[in-house]
Structure 1
Amino acid sequence: MDDRTTPKEAFAKLAPLASKTLVDQVVDAIVEATATGAFLPGDRIVEAEVARALNVSRVPVREALRILESQGIVINARYRGMRLMDVTVERLEKILKVRTALETLATREVLEAIRRDSATIKPLEQVVAELHQAADRGDSYGVARLDTEFHRTLCRLSGNDVLLHMWEPLSRQLTIIFGLSTLQKDLGLIVKEHDELLEKIKAGNVGDLIEAVQVHILDYSRALDYEGLIELRRRNRKRKAG
């Protein structure tokens, strides 16, 4: 008699996976707080304070911070404790260069996929439609989150799982950076930039699209003063604290 258990039978005995664990929710809450300026890059993150604010135990907060540390969003500095990543010109430049390399490759492969099947572009169109809705209701964090989703979708539609696997660890850092950009840039302009990218993808000219991606990632980001914004908000916070 064969007493081996098939994978299907083994998984059937397990409880269904929750769509979002408590740890995931804590991770999302910390990312959102940073993207909206409630936390600022460089701030110390105190496990007990986060747990109290979210009305959870310290266990999921500790695990959430471990995940965020592995993704470079928090840094456990000796004698300084757990702190949020800095958003300096140097760090931003490194992220931008990696993004440009990955997303340039993604755009080439997406164009090839669209040539084989024009319906490939539909998920990108859906994200852009949701971007418009978020901007119309003044949802700055929604815009930041969907900005990240646009670029994730671009990488996913390339069909290159290695590329997506390399891009994904940057995703939460990007949401924070995009969130900070919404604090100093009109939401309508952010949406317009994605409209333009979508049109370039539909036009199908590789050279024009790669140039547009590089302008979108490099030039538009470099034009913003992240360090100045963070310093201004930090001064305002100290002034309010009295």
Structure 2
Amino acid sequence: MNSAAPLSLSDDIYHGILRNIIAGELEQGSRLRERTLSEQFGVSRVPIREAIHRLEREGFVESAPRRGAIVRLLSYRDVQELYQVRLCIEPHAAYLAATRAASNTADLSALRRITTQAAHAIESERPDQAAPFNIDFHEELVRLSGNRLLEEMFRPLLGRMEWIFNLTNQTHDVEQLGEHRALLEAIAAGQADLARSLAFVHLELHRVPVTEALAAP
């Protein structure tokens, strides 16, 4: 009868394992042993198994013959496909956000706050603290589109984006900050076509170094 508790427990374990994968504490190719994880989290194997299955569905884990569940080895194709999907979503989200801003139906305060916080971290030479604001900016950009379906499509990409950025040592630098500021101002000015173009170019500019870094030995 009490089905909420196991679901909540499985969700907590899912987030714990996911955070370890994204942070690199569980490296690509690492085995996810149910017994070890069960002891680590102090739970039975049932919620562990549920969490692993969810991670597998979302592309962080895969099943390998005679090895069981392992952290997935990301490929060049994985990154290319991620950016192809982002190029379908984010430029259009920027266009919609600017359209809403032009009609005074978009609140840009969160996007401005994220940009300011990133600038402070970069100016203080703390790139590790600036990096999360990169993900936050793109998440808020899509939210500002006002399109709930776009948000739902984009949300599952966030963890993989952060994982890839960490694996390839991508930091939120002055160049990216400048591009974010230009995009923010285009949206604020209601320049929908310009916002869409800036979002597209921004993604294309950073797709190349990310894919090259992942392909490097």
TM-score higher than 0.5 here?
Answer: yes
CA contact (8 A) 2:99 2:190 kept: no
Task: Give deviations 1:14-35, integer Å, cap 9, x for gaps.
Answer: 9xx99x9443333333232222
Q: Structure 1 residue aligned with 2:64, among 74, 77, 82?
A: 77
Q: CA RMSD in A?
A: 3.2
In 1, the alpha carbon distance for the partners of 2:102 and 2:190 equals: 8
Find the partner of 1:214 among 197, 200, 204. Answer: 200
Give identity over the alignment, percent: 27
Which residues of structure 2 form unaligned runs of 5+? Answer: none
Asked if 2 retains the 8 angstrom alpha-carbon contact of 1:73 and 1:84, the reply is yes
Partner of 1:236: none
Distance 1:192 1:82, change over 3 A: farther
Distance 1:152 1:25 in 2: 22
CA distance in 2, matches of 1:227, 1:95: 13
What's the CA shift for 1:102? 0.8
Change (3 A) 1:70 1:123: same
2:46 alignment counterpart: 59
Q: Give the TM-score normalised by the residue count of structure 2.
A: 0.78
Instruction: Report the CA distance between 1:83 and its aligned residue.
Output: 1.9
**Take 1:113 and 1:119, find their aligned partners in 2: how far apart are those partners?**
5
Task: Give the 3 Å change call, closer, same or farther, for CA 111–75 of structure 1 in structure 2.
Answer: same
Any stretches of 5+ residues in structure 1 without a counterpart? 1-13, 232-242
Query: d(CA) in 1 for partners of 2:14 and 2:109?
Result: 29
TM-aligned CA distance change 1:188 to 1:99, over 3 Å: same
Aligned 8 A contact 2:94 2:196 in 1 = yes
1:11 maps to what in 2?
Answer: none
Report which of the two structures shows the higher radius of gyration computed on alpha carbons. 1
Distance 2:38 2:134 in 1: 29
Partners of 1:102 and 1:186 in 2: CA distance: 21
User: Aligned residues, how many?
Assistant: 212
TM-score calculated relative to the size of structure 1: 0.71
Secondary structure of 1:223's counterpart equals: helix
